[in-house]
Amino acid sequence: MNAAAAHPSEPPFWLLDPQVVFLNHGSFGSCPRPVLDCQRAWRDRLEREPIQFFVRDLEGLLDAARASLARFVGADPANLVFVPNATAGVNTVLRSLRFRRGDELLVTDHEYNACRNALDYVAGRERARVVVAPVPFPLHHADEVLEAVLAGVTARTRLALLDHVTSQTGLVLPIDRLVRALADRGVETLVDGAHAPGMVPLTLETLGAAAYTGNAHKWLCAPKGAAFLYVRPDWQPRVRPLIISHGANSPRKERSRFLLEFGWTGTGDPSAALSVPKALEVMGGLLPDGWPGLMARNRQLALEARRILCRAIDQPAPAPAEMIGALAALPLPDAPETAAPKSPLYLDPLQEALRAGEGIEVPVIPWPAPPAAGVADLGTSVQRAFALRAIGGGSAGQARPRFWGRDVRLVARERVQGAKGQGPRAKFKAQGKRPVPAAPAR
Q: Whole-angstrom Cα distance, residue 338 to residue 340?
A: 7
pLDDT confidence tier of residue 431, bands split at 50, 70 and 90 = very low
Residue 88 CB contacts under 8 Å (≥ 6 apart), including other chains: 213, 227, 242
Is the per-residue pLDDT at 399 higher than 70?
no
Per-residue pLDDT, 336: 59
Q: Whole-angstrom Cα distance, residue 333 to residue 91?
A: 33
Helix H segments across 346-404? Answer: 349-358, 379-388
> Terminus-to-terminus CA distance in the chain, angstroms?
27
Enter the pTM of the model.
0.85
Which DSSP category does 147 fall into? Answer: H
Is the per-residue pLDDT at 412 higher than 70?
no
Per-residue pLDDT, 442: 52
Compute the C-alpha angle 118/119/121, nearest 5°.
65
Please name which of 300, 75, 114, 111 lies closest in space to residue 197, comparing C-alpha atoms. Answer: 75
What phi, psi does 31 have (nearest 5°)?
A: -110, 130
Per-residue pLDDT, 341: 63
- Tell me, what amino acid is at 13? F
Per-residue pLDDT, 349: 81
Q: Whole-angstrom Cα distance, residue 152 to residue 150?
A: 5
Query: If residue 90 lies in a helix (H) or strand (E), which one and from where to where?
Result: helix 86-96
Percent of all residues in the chain with a pLDDT value above 90, rounded to a whole number: 70
- Tell me, what amino acid is at 383? Q
C-alpha distances (whole Å) from 431 to each of 135, 195, 421, 425, 426 are: 17, 31, 11, 10, 9
- Across all residues in the chain, what is the average pLDDT? 84
Helices (H) and strands (E) in the chain, counts: 15, 12
Under a CB-based contact definition with an 8 Å cutoff, are residues 162 and 107 in contact? yes
The pairs formed by 139-144 with CB atoms below 8 angstroms and a separation of 24 or more are: 139/171, 139/318, 139/319, 139/320, 139/323, 140/320, 141/320, 142/173, 142/174, 142/177, 142/320, 142/322, 142/323
Q: Whole-angstrom Cα distance, residue 346 to residue 168?
A: 13
Rounded to the nearest 10 degrees, how much is the dihedral formed by the CA atoms of 166, 169, 175, 181? -110
Q: Whole-angstrom Cα distance, residue 192 to residue 107?
A: 11
Higher pLDDT, 322 or 424: 322
Under a CB-based contact definition with an 8 Å cutoff, are residues 266 and 241 in contact? no
Query: If residue 178 lies in a helix (H) or strand (E), which one and from where to where?
Result: helix 175-184
Domain range summary for the chain, segments of one domain joined by +? 3-30+287-430, 38-280
Residue 30 CB contacts under 8 Å (≥ 6 apart), including other chains: 14, 15, 16, 22, 221
Is the per-residue pLDDT at 9 higher than 70?
no
Give the class (CATH, top level) of 38-280: alpha beta
Under a CB-based contact definition with an 8 Å cutoff, are residues 401 and 363 in contact? no
Find the mean pLDDT for residues 44-71. 98
Where is average pLDDT lowest: 14-18, 31-35, 227-231, 363-367? 363-367
Q: Whole-angstrom Cα distance, residue 45 to residue 293?
A: 34
Give the up-direction half-sphere exposure of residue 304: CA atoms within 13 A in the CB hemisphere. Answer: 14
- Tell me, what amino acid is at 222? A
Q: Whole-angstrom Cα distance, residue 154 to residue 254?
A: 41
Give the up-direction half-sphere exposure of residue 221: CA atoms within 13 A in the CB hemisphere. Answer: 28
Find the mean pLDDT for residues 176-193. 98
Residue 419 CB contacts under 8 Å (≥ 6 apart), including other chains: none
Where is average pLDDT lowest: 94-98, 285-289, 389-393? 389-393
pLDDT confidence tier of residue 189, bands split at 50, 70 and 90 = very high
Q: Whole-angstrom Cα distance, residue 76 to residue 67?
A: 8
